[in-house]
């Protein structure tokens, strides 16, 4: 795994007591970034770092004198409403600020008095997108999702011949990406039933979620430059949870030959917190390719990628219906999966995306593609769980679903956990389906 | 056609003498916008308007007192390095500035003394992107291109069943769009020959251009809002020329099932000048659909769109090779076409793109798709001209091409012209292929 340092030490505790709970997503070893302000205020959004159930307000912290040198410069960049400038500073600056925060937040730190005045409770915060997303690319890295969905869209040809050679990706829409809490009207569009002579127009009938990881580019590149596989960590600022809402009936009719369009660009939702590449270091793990499968071309192959290219992130999806909300029932779990199943690693996505010279800008965003696991109950979309809408699933309270209904909120959570390392949580991403506009 | 006003009057002349040449792209009836500065200077880029062979520097002009009211507010917005704020102000502001410029630039205007001090010769200028392009969408609106290319990529299934119902589009990459003068290295990538067992990696062997119109969104919308067909003109700021460079061999191997990706995102080039929707009003013309074809669904159908949805823009593509450059030969014409052949109108693209609630931001950009005409010699790509690379084309100087070679510059020009209206030119877009990086 990548080099660990004092910030990863399992034994560290914080003077922010809530961070020391073993089940907390945001212990002192995590330190993820978001853009926040106090709920309902007209304050400017600014960068913050999660610690326990609190947020370190970096716009306030930069003025305390707690940080110095590169960490201070980085903290100043984080005072902006969006974190693009900080993300573009690169790994050295990211690490310097992480180390300074880790030291200042530790039990016994002399900075406690100054930084405790910079805390805002997460319960009192609201979030914005952490950065301006210039370009958004969606990958398709779960071979299980690709095979299952392929069999629904193309029964005779589920997994195309390029899949095991090319980290398949396509461009998505940035403008409609919003942060957790997003609600959106059920999209309308053209659909055509297989037996209909002509398409018709109306609200989507097969609305779905997709359980994905989001990947933020930090340091950019110039047009014509490539990012080698083993340099990807210099450019990937961090990861979040991502719900790539999908209108399956619109998608089926529109997607050939140039790919999904209106089926995807009505809404996409990210979790507020970016968990940094550095925080995830203890959870990097071996990546392998079945012997029977094609092995990667040289630009997608390295010893380091084999040794530590994968990341073991546990994921879950829950649904909260109007009824559950009204009756005070908890949300119902739909599935669990893990990012470790990804057929291609984050580094392979980055190397592939830039091998033709495509330039990256700080804040550019990748979706991993739906992270379905190898078994049916690990499916990352309702399309898969309901076998293309043919077999309704039964929720914990007895309701059934083949696709999403109005009022449904979809909740995704993720975390890393293992012996000998601190839990690294992602928090959650929530989004809610509103009825189609009249 | 849309209402004409005094700015369209054919009889207007300008005190900028070069604007009065009948073959000039930029007479006083045009007044297109760009972002420019003096070549080789470190001046800030700012908005400018073309008049004859000159540019009105709007950062300078706003300080002259020539404009007032909304026109002055608009001119102030144009003093920024990029025009997004001005474009987002909407039609009333665009029209106010156009009218004020038209009046100030007319022969006999009292503003001549002040504005003549704000002129910069186009020969001494360099350009930037006119605005920050948040999202870029590429459409596919030539049925001739779609049929020909479809027959090359899918011989048994050239035009898919959705084509005549759905204005097919897909998301593109914004970061690699640059302004005319862009040069880029031949992209590398995975390709697979039809008879090869496995893909291989290397420089693209089938590099191509695509002759497109570019469409800039001005006034934006919120997520969930739609733009009705007959409101599209309120949102479309203007048009430019657009070369959507394409790596055909990479495209063929990667594009299924999610669309073109690395085959397109290594470079895309726009012309510097945005010709406004208002300037194009005299060239709006009837749009029709063959009786034998499906007629548009209601959200894509209106009397106004039938009456004036199309725009008659004459287009041409030329190639200048290293040899032509070295020997001082002119560029060789490859083809001529017209935007009037488009199967879907700009308004239909806008209405379709937003019918699901997808939001638009000022500066968002659409490509029209390759504007091939009905005959072979009107093809808008070399893929079509060379019948998929099977039949080399012979250039004016005797060189041959199946696809682009290193050193080739591709030049696209466009203009509107007819009896009773002033010529409205687009200038040109030029881009040059450099050898693949080692």
Q: Which two tokens stand for residue A429?
A: 């991403």
DSSP summary character for residue B265 = T
Contact between B297 and A173 using a beta-carbon 8 Å cutoff: no
pLDDT at B156 over 90: no
Q: Give the model confidence (pLDDT) of B361-373 as tens digits.
A: 999 999 999 999 9
Band (pLDDT 50/70/90 cuts) for residue B419 is very high
Helix axes B91-105, B69-77, angle to 10 degrees: 100
So what's the pLDDT on residue A1?
Answer: 72
The sign of the torsion formed by the CA atoms of B369, B371, B372, B374 equals positive
What residues of B are in contact with residue A171 (Cβ under 8 Å)? 170-173, 259, 261, 265
Contacts of B289 (CB under 8 A, 6+ apart): B295, B296
Farthest-apart Cα atoms in chain B, separation: 74
Band (pLDDT 50/70/90 cuts) for residue A152 is confident
So what's the pLDDT on residue B158?
Answer: 87
Distance CA B409, CA A26 (A): 54
pLDDT at A105 over 90: yes
So what's the pLDDT on residue B4?
Answer: 97
Mutate which of A172, A266, A356, A364 to test chain B, going by most B C-beta atoms within 10 A? A356
Q: Cα dist. A54→A11, A50, A367, B57, B128 in Å?
A: 20, 6, 28, 51, 44
**CA nearest neighbour of A308 among A352, A273, A277:** A277
Map tokens 């009211």 to a residue.
B69
As a whole number, the mean pLDDT across chain B is: 97
So what's the pLDDT on residue B224?
Answer: 98
Choose the closest CB to B135 out of A166, A173, A260. A173
| Over residues A148-176, mean pLDDT | 93
Choose the closest CB to B259 out of A162, A224, A258. A258
| Over residues A134-162, mean pLDDT | 92
pLDDT at B43 over 80: yes
**Exposed / middle / buried, residue B138 (Cβ in 10 Å: 0-12, 13-18, 19+):** buried
Lowest mean pLDDT among A99-113, A284-298, B143-157, B304-318: B143-157
So what's the pLDDT on residue B317?
Answer: 98
DSSP summary character for residue A89 = T
Phi, psi angle pair for B179, to nearest 5°:
-90, 160
Q: Give the model confidence (pLDDT) of B160-214 as tens digits.
A: 999 999 999 999 999 999 999 999 999 999 999 989 999 999 999 999 999 999 9
What residues of B are in contact with residue A252 (Cβ under 8 Å)? none
Choose the closest CB to B201 out of A198, A267, A297. A297
What residues of A are in contact with residue B137 (Cβ under 8 Å)? 173, 261
**CA nearest neighbour of A397 among A300, A338, A317, A330:** A330
So what's the pLDDT on residue B361?
Answer: 98
Contacts of B7 (CB under 8 A, 6+ apart): B29, B31, B98, B99, B102, B278, B279
Distance CA B283, CA B418 (A): 8
Look up the CATH number of domain A6-128: 2.30.30.230
SS3 B333: strand
| Over residues B113-141, mean pLDDT | 98
Q: How far apart are the CA of B236 and the nearest CA of chain A, in angstroms?
A: 17
Assign domain A136-434 to its CATH architecture: Alpha-Beta Complex (3.90)
Q: Give the model confidence (pLDDT) of A364-406 as tens digits.
A: 999 999 999 999 999 999 999 999 999 999 999 999 999 999 9
As a whole number, the mean pLDDT across chain A is: 97
Lowest mean pLDDT among A58-62, A191-195, A426-430: A191-195
Q: How far apart are the first and last CA of chain A?
A: 53
- Catalytically active residues of B, by annotation: 145
So what's the pLDDT on residue B1?
Answer: 72
What's the half-sphere exposure (Cβ side, CA atoms, 13 Å) at A193?
6
The sign of the torsion formed by the CA atoms of B377, B379, B380, B382 equals negative
Lowest mean pLDDT among A152-161, A337-346, B33-42: A152-161
* A116 known ligand binder: no
| Over residues A138-147, mean pLDDT | 95
Sorted by where each begins, the domain ranges of chain B are 6-128, 136-434
So what's the pLDDT on residue A141?
Answer: 95
Q: How far apart are the CA of A330 and the nearest CA of chain B, in angstroms?
A: 29
Distance CA A415, CA A130 (A): 19
Q: Cα dist. B312→A162, A290, A305, B280 in Å?
A: 41, 56, 54, 9
**CA nearest neighbour of A208 among A335, A95, A28:** A335
So what's the pLDDT on residue B2?
Answer: 83
Whether the ipTM is more than 0.90: the answer is: yes
Band (pLDDT 50/70/90 cuts) for residue A206 is very high
What residues of A are in contact with residue B159 (Cβ under 8 Å)? none
So what's the pLDDT on residue B106?
Answer: 98
So what's the pLDDT on residue A322?
Answer: 97
Contact between A260 and B259 using a beta-carbon 8 Å cutoff: yes
Band (pLDDT 50/70/90 cuts) for residue B157 is confident
Distance CA B28, CA B26 (A): 7
Q: Give the model confidence (pLDDT) of A306-338 as tens digits.
A: 999 999 999 999 999 999 999 999 999 999 999
So what's the pLDDT on residue B79?
Answer: 98
pLDDT at A2 over 90: no
Q: How far apart are the CA of A122 and the nearest CA of chain B, in angstroms?
A: 26
């Amino acid at each position: 795994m990548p080099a660990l340092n004092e910030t990863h030490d399992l034994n560290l505790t914080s003077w922010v007591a809530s961070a020391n709970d073993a089940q907390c997503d945001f212990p002192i070893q995590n330190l993820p970034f978001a853009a926040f302000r106090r709920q309902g205020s007209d304050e400017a959004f600014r960068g913050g770092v999660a610690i326990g159930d609190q947020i370190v307000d970096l716009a306030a912290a930069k003025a305390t004198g707690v940080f110095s040198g590169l960490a201070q410069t980085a903290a100043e960049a984080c005072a902006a409403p969006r974190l693009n400038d900080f993300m573009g500073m690169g790994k050295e600056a990211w690490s310097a600020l992480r180390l300074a925060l880790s030291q200042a937040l530790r039990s016994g730190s002399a900075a406690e008095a100054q930084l405790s005045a910079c805390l805002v409770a997460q319960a009192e915060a609201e979030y914005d997108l952490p950065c301006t997303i210039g370009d958004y690319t969606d990958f398709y890295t779960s071979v299980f999702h690709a095979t299952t969905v392929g069999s629904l869209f193309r029964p005779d040809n589920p997994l195309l011949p390029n899949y095991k050679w090319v980290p398949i990706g396509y461009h998505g829409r940035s403008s409609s990406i919003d942060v957790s809490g997003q609600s959106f009207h059920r999209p309308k569009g053209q659909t055509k039933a297989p037996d209909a002579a002509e398409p018709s127009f109306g609200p989507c009938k097969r609305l779905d979620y997709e359980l994905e990881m989001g990947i933020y580019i930090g340091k950019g590149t110039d047009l014509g430059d490539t990012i080698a596989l083993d340099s990807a960590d210099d450019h990937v600022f961090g990861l979040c949870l991502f719900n790539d809402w999908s209108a399956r009936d619109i998608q089926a009719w529109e997607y050939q030959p140039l790919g999904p369009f209106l089926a995807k660009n009505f809404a996409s939702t990210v979790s507020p917190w970016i968990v940094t590449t550095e925080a995830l270091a203890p959870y990097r793990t071996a990546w392998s390719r079945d012997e029977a499968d094609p092995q990667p071309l040289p630009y997608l192959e390295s010893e380091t990628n084999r040794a530590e290219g994968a990341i073991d992130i546990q994921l879950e999806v829950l649904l909260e219906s109007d009824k559950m909300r009204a009756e005070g029932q908890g949300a119902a779990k739909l599935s669990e999966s893990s990012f470790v199943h990804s057929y291609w690693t984050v580094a392979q996505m980055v190397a592939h995306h830039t091998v033709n010279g495509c330039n990256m800008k700080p804040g550019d965003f990748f979706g991993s593609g739906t992270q379905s696991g190898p078994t049916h109950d690990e499916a990352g979309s309702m399309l898969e769980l309901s076998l293309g809408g043919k077999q309704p699933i039964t929720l914990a309270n007895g309701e059934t679903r083949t696709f999403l209904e109005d009022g449904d909120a979809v909740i995704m959570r993720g975390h890393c956990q293992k012996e000998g390392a601190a839990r690294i949580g992602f928090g959650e991403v929530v989004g809610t389906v509103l009825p189609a506009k009249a």
